[in-house]
Amino acid sequence: MTTPTRQATTPCPCCRQPKARSLYLCSLCWGTLPGLTRRALSRRDSKAMDRLQELHRQLAAGRPLAEIQVTP
Ligand SMILES: [Zn+2]
């Protein structure tokens, strides 16, 4: 059985450290992303889901965080 209060965190898709559910990455990984990528990912518009998928695709491909780019 799972406790609802323990679900406030999820593992970071990059380093597997626990992070807040509302964040895409833990603060350490987030800080490693290029500024332009961070800014694009922070925007909550109709393309937000596409950008998240681009991020996850590149993480899955083993691309270094500092080189990840998403649709601006
Ligand atoms: Zn991380």
How do residues 48-66 score in pLDDT, each as one tens digit? Answer: 999 999 999 999 999 999 9
**The two three-digit tokens of residue 45, written as one number:** 């518009």
- Domain ranges for the chain, please list them: 9-67
Has residue 2 got a pLDDT over 60? no
> Residues 12-20: what's their mean pLDDT?
94
Distance 52 CA to ligand 1 centre (A): 15
Does the pTM of the predicted model rise above 0.85?
no
3-state helix, strand, coil in the chain (%, to 5): 50, 10, 45
**Percent of residues, the chain, with pLDDT higher than 70:** 90
Measured in Å, residue 30 CA sits from the centre of ligand 1 at 7
- Give me the pLDDT at residue 3, please: 54
65 CA distance to ligand 1 middle (Å)? 10
CA of 31 to the centre of ligand 1 (A): 9
pLDDT above 80 for 23: yes
**Residue 41 in contact with residue 33, Cβ under 8 Å?**
yes
